[in-house]
Amino acid sequence: MNYIIEYFHPRVKAEIEGWPDGILADFARLVELLMEFGPNLHMPHSRPMGGGLFELRPHGREGIGRVFYCFLIGRRIMILHSFIKKTPDAPEQELRIARKRMKEVKNA
């Protein structure tokens, strides 16, 4: 039984759809794996960020994308936030946005 992908807001989905083709293609591949394997998807594709937050790690010729997500009841995966990486570590501001959104959806 597969997992269902949901987006925190249509803007999150639109932002990802605006990524360069190579990163977007890898994101599509990784989302398929995520839907199939759920929390059993590990490095190099996905990484736990602590507190129930996870990071999907798409990349392409054009660079590296990051997508933060969490799991919800009913085999649902909520895509919370995304960005194109410009530094080696995930910027703290990006993590704060994802954690705030995760808190909103888990307390809804």
User: Cα–Cα distance between 75 and 56 in angstroms, integer?
Assistant: 17
Query: How many folded domains does the chain comprise?
Result: 1
Cα-based distances in Å from 91 to 28, 59, 73: 23, 17, 28
Quote the DSSP letter at residue 91: P
Range of the domain at 84: 4-106
pLDDT of residue 52: 97
CATH number at residue 25: 3.30.2310.20
pLDDT of residue 86: 83
pLDDT of residue 1: 67
pLDDT of residue 104: 96
- pTM of the model as a whole: 0.94
pLDDT of residue 2: 93
User: Cα–Cα distance between 68 and 55 in angstroms, integer?
Assistant: 5
Residues of the chain with pLDDT under 50: none
